[in-house]
Amino acid sequence: MARYIFITGGVVSSLGKGLMAASLAALLQARGYKVRIRKFDPYLNVDPGTMSPYQHGEVYVTDDGAETDLDLGHYERFTGVSAHQGDNVTSGRVYRDIIARERRGDYLGATVQVVPHVTDAIKQFALADQSDHDFILCEIGGTVGDIEGLPFMEAIRQLRNELEPMQTLSVHVTLVPYIAAAGELKTKPTQHSVRELASLGIKPDVLLCRAEHPIPHSERRKIAQFCNVRAEAVIPALDASSIYAVPLQYHREGLDTEVLRGFGITDAPEPDLSRWYDVMDRHSNPEGEVTIGVVGKYVGLQDAYKSLNEALIHGGMAHRVKVNVKWIDAEIFEQDDSDIAAQLEPMHGILVPGGFGERGSEGKIAAVRFARERGVPFFGICLGMQMACIESARSAGFGAASSTEFGQTQEPVVGVITEWMTAEGLETREADGDLGGTMRLGAYKAALAPDSKVSAIYGGETEISERHRHRYEVNSHYIEAMEKDGLMFSGMSPDGLLPEIVERPEHPWFVGVQFHPELKSKPFEPHPLFAEFIGAALNQERLV
């Protein structure tokens, strides 16, 4: 029987509910329990796939092709448990499914209402695919009191009544602000937030209190009295030096112990936190450092490249070095060519990440050319690989080489592919279809050339599976010309039609991949491509 932990937030957004859910799941996992985490988002988008990175941050992609909230990246990185379609549900998806059923007549003429139809659908998502999990953690996006979140709160209230006693637990994340002028921590926002939650019929069992200053025991006792919880269930959550320090910090404060006590579990085994101590040792005690220049278009919001940033840190952990990331707006290279050398010469490695649209594309191509000509370790991801192919085609004499994503071009080195093979058979799409349904999404296999650098990086493997999220593909008609320029197509789709990986054998380290390897990197298991890229950058640093 799976036990459910419902995680809500109050006072303000961005308190770290996702990180808290991931950390708690990691602590329960360290005690030997099998866990799964789900995210319920109240917004009306069906998924975040068409949302601007500046609005929502990165879109995280699962193996089965779901475009999800970035919190699912935290879940996977902290637990190693692969998420899937059912682990991220939005109001838009719930309402879409209900309206489709109503149009089919599935409700037999009944009036379709928020209660019971919407709340029942939310409960079905929560209860689906329990398999043999011990704990299922459900994080509800937004804050208590948000209008759009009310159906989710009502669904939680109903579930807590319908499931067995001691099968559910509520964790509420709040803010205990420090008022500098008064020199005091203020507990009133937490009290009001809990009161708001209680007015919806949900009594929290554990309070996780975010604060910039330590919360004295007297204040914890005060919160407990006014919020009707045990004093031990008021858990301080102070700012941490690294997100990877959070599981250890929460364990020291007794979060996992208190959660288990809430379920009546008092004889749980002690957690094995050795891998988290190792992660923090590697992170906190580096033996060197490298600087990586990330040339992108969404550099104004680092959450747009959340998984990428974490994967670079993981690559540094593999070598016990600190990775300094310099975010560089690709557009500046389109305004002043002389700025390229000034910005990129100090870098020990250059990375061009994924993205959509023409803005900044010529700046990314200029960064690729700089890395190729100067022998600087280069890593191109998704659009970054496509820019590397366009740069190669131009170097090979196709001066008009470009992508149809940017408009009409005489030399479409990159373009829309309308059909491809999957494990289930032929998949097709329309070039002018809805943006949310025209991409190659999720895990796809790639065949690696056995004598290639990437095959060696993957431990000699000749077939891999990685996650994709893109609409355009490299045109195989230009492969011969690019190979003459020195570009090796070392990874192809199993049918040999779609380029997946390129490299330059004569370059110190030059790799471009059509997929997103950062989505599968973890602090205790760095992705091999990032580990090798940082290793190459470290060698570059030593040469300098």
Residues 210 and 318 occupy one common structural domain:
no
Q: What is the mean pLDDT of residues 6-27?
A: 94
* Mean of the per-residue pLDDT values of the chain: 92
Tens digit of each residue's pLDDT (9 = 90 or more) over 506-535: 999 999 999 999 999 999 999 999 999 999
Tens digit of each residue's pLDDT (9 = 90 or more) over 288-328: 999 999 998 877 777 889 999 999 999 999 999 999 999 99
Q: Please, what's the b/e burial string for 213-225 (b: 16 or more CB within 10 A of its CB; e: otherwise)? A: eebeeebbebbbe
> Which residue reads 């937004």 in tokens?
142
Residue 508 is assigned to a structural domain of this protein: yes
> Which residue reads 């319908």 in tokens?
162
pLDDT at 541: 66
Residues 215 and 99 occupy one common structural domain:
yes
Greater pLDDT, 39 or 431: 39
- Is the Cβ–Cβ distance between 247 and 23 less than 8 Å? yes
Percent of the chain beyond pLDDT 70? 95
Residues 357 and 248 occupy one common structural domain:
no
Residues 129 and 205 occupy one common structural domain:
yes
pLDDT at 431: 54
53 pLDDT tier (thresholds 50, 70, 90): confident
Instruction: Report the domain count for the chain.
Output: 2
Question: What six digits make up the tokens of 121?
Answer: 């659908």
- Is the Cβ–Cβ distance between 383 and 364 less than 8 Å? yes
Write the CA distances from 176 to 15, 17, 64, 169, 183, integer angstroms.
Answer: 11, 15, 39, 22, 13
126 pLDDT tier (thresholds 50, 70, 90): very high
Beta strand ranges found along 108-231 (DSSP E): 135-140, 168-175, 178-179, 184-185, 206-211
Asked if residue 434 has pLDDT above 90, the reply is no
Residue 107 is assigned to a structural domain of this protein: yes
Tens digit of each residue's pLDDT (9 = 90 or more) over 67-78: 999 999 999 999
3-state helix, strand, coil in the chain (%, to 5): 40, 25, 35
pLDDT at 469: 93
Q: What is the mean pLDDT of residues 18-44?
A: 96
Catalytic residue among 382, 411, 468, 507: 382
Residues 258 and 311 occupy one common structural domain:
no
pLDDT at 182: 87
Residue 524 is assigned to a structural domain of this protein: yes
Residue 66 is assigned to a structural domain of this protein: yes
Tens digit of each residue's pLDDT (9 = 90 or more) over 371-416: 999 999 999 999 999 999 999 999 999 999 999 988 888 899 999 7
Residues 68 and 146 occupy one common structural domain:
yes
Q: Which amino acid is at 333?
A: F
Q: CA angle, corner 221, sides to 217 and 225, nearest 5?
A: 170
> Among 278, 304, 331, where does a domain finish?
278
Residues 405 and 266 occupy one common structural domain:
no
Residues 485 and 514 occupy one common structural domain:
yes
At 327, phi and psi to the nearest 5?
-85, 120
Domain housing 470: 288-543
Residue 163 is assigned to a structural domain of this protein: yes
Residues 411 and 475 occupy one common structural domain:
yes
Tens digit of each residue's pLDDT (9 = 90 or more) over 270-281: 999 999 999 999
Residues 320 and 271 occupy one common structural domain:
no
Tens digit of each residue's pLDDT (9 = 90 or more) over 493-506: 999 999 999 999 99
- Is the Cβ–Cβ distance between 365 and 413 less than 8 Å? no
417 pLDDT tier (thresholds 50, 70, 90): low
pLDDT at 62: 96
> Among 257, 278, 299, where does a domain finish?
278
Percent of the chain beyond pLDDT 90? 81
Is 525 an annotated catalytic residue? Answer: no
Report the first-to-last Cα separation within the chain, whole angstroms. Answer: 58
Catalytic residue among 411, 516, 527, 532: 516
> Among 226, 251, 278, where does a domain finish?
278
**Residue 116: cis peptide before it, omega within 30 degrees of 0:** yes
pLDDT at 429: 55
Q: What is the mean pLDDT of residues 234-256?
A: 95
3-class secondary-structure state, position 229: coil
Asked if residue 107 has pLDDT above 60, the reply is yes
| Distance of alpha carbon 56 from the chain centroid | 11
Residue 505 is assigned to a structural domain of this protein: yes
Q: What is the mean pLDDT of residues 52-65?
A: 87
Residues 21 and 129 occupy one common structural domain:
yes
Catalytic residue among 58, 76, 518, 532: 518
For residue 473, what is the domain's CATH number?
A: 3.40.50.880
For residue 19, what is the domain's CATH number?
A: 3.40.50.300
Residues 172 and 50 occupy one common structural domain:
yes
Question: What six digits make up the tokens of 377?
Answer: 């370790």
pLDDT at 416: 79
pLDDT at 341: 86
- Is the Cβ–Cβ distance between 522 and 531 less than 8 Å? no
- Is the Cβ–Cβ distance between 216 and 198 less than 8 Å? no
Residues 6+ apart with CB under 8 A from 408: none
Asked if residue 358 has pLDDT above 90, the reply is no
Q: How many CB atoms within 10 Å of residue 373?
A: 10
Is 251 an annotated catalytic residue? Answer: no
pTM over 0.85: yes
pLDDT at 51: 85
Is 217 an annotated catalytic residue? Answer: no
Residue 283 is assigned to a structural domain of this protein: no
Greater pLDDT, 543 or 12: 12
Residue 269 is assigned to a structural domain of this protein: yes
